[in-house]
Structure 1
Amino acid sequence: MTEGDALEIVQQAIWLTIVLAGPVVGSAMVIGVGVAFFQALTQIQEMTLTFVPKLIVGFLIILLTGSYSGSLLKVFTEQLYLRIALGFK
């Protein structure tokens, strides 16, 4: 295994992490901005008002993208195991 192989694996792993976490983080960010805007308009400063919607939407996004995320993770793992088995040639 060369340095190039290791860098390629790390690059693929980081990109996969971004792709897998992106929908959940993006939706939480949109919900957070919406709730903050609502709180600024109504002057309601309840801490659970920001937490509960993010939790619910995050769970729904995980349910919607779970099979796609799992298939991406499965393909990455299979490719990595194949490279290990072949000796990184």
Structure 2
Amino acid sequence: MTENDDARHEKETKQYDDWKSQIRSELEAFEGEGPPSIDELWSVAQNESESAASWIHDMPCTEQEIKTAKGDVLKALVALEMAEDRLNEVR
């Protein structure tokens, strides 16, 4: 990797972490109802992953469509991570 590649990777990693943090905050608020339950997080993950799969299937491969699908997948991942955290708290 070159220095430019390293700098780009570092920037993308920070942006990814910022997005995850923002999504986590949005999910914690859960439509004004407070922290979501494990089942609600599971449902969010299911809906977002299905949305991403449908989007990928139906839309042409453009930069915007890729960003949209990545956003859905990232939200599903954050919801799964939060559900996992809550399961570990219960144990």
Normalised-by-shorter TM-score class: 0.3 to 0.5
Provide the TM-score with structure 1 as the length reference: 0.38
| Higher RCO structure (Cα 8 Å, ≥6 apart) | 1
Normalising by structure 2, report the TM-score: 0.37
